């Protein structure tokens, strides 16, 4: 899947296809982001195969796990998630942030498979059902569990990158987590509602206490603390408006019904079947 690259990636794919038609490629009109690129590849490939496996091209995901994924499919599973068996090769900071990422998503209602990225096998009927999902704000890791069907996992050891650096630093991981949460759950809105109700209750009790103290002839002092509380609540209100605005923005984008991807070229002409385990 060529996500609108500006180098010679497409030329290399086309040349490989000329020498061996098992190499097929799809090219987008421009870069639309990782999630849209994966979706475009899956939606196009489903017309040419009974099963599809998505995998990143950085060489970190173990291709030998594909054979075990196919075995699981033959056992009757429609979705097989590739799951990292360990994170021993990661730094402590990377392990901590990754674990926090998955826990945060699940805590806010975005169901995801722990230590799974986008290395997965999907059957044709899963992808046909997934085609009815028209979200513009894509978070595939959270959407596939919503489709249903029988699923399982296959563990594998993750390798070092063949070249380059990771495109998912901490800020992108946080952005992906936030997008996943706001795309799949309204729990943040409910938390804001609950917090607002709690603050209102505490404020109401404080007002009653202040009135009682004033009637008793006691002067209620503490302008500094009152100012701090006002500033705190103002910050909470702005944060709440920001979260609500994020949801409204997503609604705005969804109502436009713009295409999530545009195919500029493809080599897909016929399905090449893999008949033996060794072919994988």
DSSP for 119-169? EEEEEHHHHHHHTT---SS--HHHHHHHH-S-EEEEEE-----SSS--S--
All structural domains of the chain with their residue ranges: 9-93+119-167+265-279, 187-256
> Quick one: average pLDDT of 29-39?
83
Positive or negative: CA dihedral 240, 246, 248, 249 = positive
- Do β-strands 26-28 and 79-84 pair in parallel, antiparallel, or remain unpaired? unpaired
Report pLDDT for 70: 92
Whether residue 53 contacts residue 83, with contact meaning beta carbons closer than 8 Å, is answered with no
Q: CA-CA distance, 274 to 23, in Å (whole number)?
A: 12
Whether the predicted pLDDT of 202 surpasses 80: no
Whether the predicted pLDDT of 19 surpasses 90: no
> Quick one: average pLDDT of 207-211?
72
Percentage, residues of the chain above pLDDT 90:
5
Report pLDDT for 273: 42
Give residue-wise pLDDT tens across range 58-70: 777 888 888 899 9
Pick the more confident residue, 189 or 162.
Answer: 189
Residue 217 pLDDT level (bands cut at 50, 70, 90): low
Query: Into which CATH architecture does domain 9-93+119-167+265-279 fall?
Result: Alpha-Beta Complex (3.90)
Q: CA-CA distance, 238 to 244, in Å (whole number)?
A: 10
Give residue-wise pLDDT tens across range 60-107: 788 888 889 999 999 989 999 988 877 766 677 777 777 777 787 777
Which conformational region is residue 170 in: left (phi greater than 0), alpha (psi within -120 to 50 degrees), or beta?
Answer: alpha
Residue 239 pLDDT level (bands cut at 50, 70, 90): confident
For residue 117 the two structure tokens come to: 């990225």
Positive or negative: CA dihedral 253, 254, 258, 261 = positive
Report pLDDT for 90: 67
The phi and psi torsions of 2 (rounded to 5 degrees) equal -95, 110
What's the Rg (C-alpha) of the chain? 25
DSSP assignment, residue 55? Answer: -
Global model pTM greater than 0.85: no
Report pLDDT for 271: 45
Task: Give the Å distances, CA to CA, from 28 to 23, 33, 42, 96, 168.
Answer: 17, 10, 13, 35, 21
Q: CA-CA distance, 186 to 74, in Å (whole number)?
A: 37
Report pLDDT for 218: 67
Residue 280 pLDDT level (bands cut at 50, 70, 90): very low
Residue 163 pLDDT level (bands cut at 50, 70, 90): low
Residue 164 pLDDT level (bands cut at 50, 70, 90): low
Percentage, residues of the chain above pLDDT 70:
82
Q: CA-CA distance, 3 to 26, in Å (whole number)?
A: 8
> Quick one: average pLDDT of 256-277?
61
């Amino acid at each position: 899947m060529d996500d609108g690259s500006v180098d010679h990636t497409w030329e290399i794919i086309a040349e490989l296809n000329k020498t061996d038609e098992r190499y097929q490629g799809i090219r987008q009109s421009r870069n639309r982001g990782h999630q849209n690129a994966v979706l475009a590849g899956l939606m196009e490939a489903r017309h040419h195969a009974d099963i599809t496996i998505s995998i990143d091209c950085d060489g970190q995901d173990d291709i030998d796990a594909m054979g075990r994924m196919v075995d699981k499919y033959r056992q009757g599973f429609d979705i097989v998630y590739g799951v990292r068996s360990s994170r021993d090769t990661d730094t402590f900071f990377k392990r901590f942030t990754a674990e926090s990422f998955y826990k945060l998503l699940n805590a806010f209602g975005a169901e995801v498979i722990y230590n799974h990225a986008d290395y997965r096998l999907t059957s044709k009927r899963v992808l046909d059902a997934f085609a009815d999902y028209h979200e513009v704000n894509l978070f595939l890791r959270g959407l596939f569990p919503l489709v249903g069907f029988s699923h399982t996992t296959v563990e594998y050891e993750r390798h070092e990158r063949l070249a380059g650096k990771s495109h998912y630093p901490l800020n992108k991981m946080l952005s992906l987590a936030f997008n996943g949460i706001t795309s799949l759950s309204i729990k943040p809105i409910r938390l804001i509602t609950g917090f607002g109700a709690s603050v209102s209750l505490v404020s109401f009790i404080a007002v009653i206490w202040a009135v009682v103290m004033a009637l008793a002839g006691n002067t209620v002092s503490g302008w500094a603390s009152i100012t701090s509380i006002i500033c705190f609540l103002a910050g909470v209100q702005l944060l709440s408006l920001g979260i609500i605005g994020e949801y409204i923005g997503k609604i705005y984008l969804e109502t436009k019904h713009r295409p999530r991807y545009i195919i500029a070229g493809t080599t897909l002409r016929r399905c090449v079947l893999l008949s033996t385990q060794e072919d994988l």
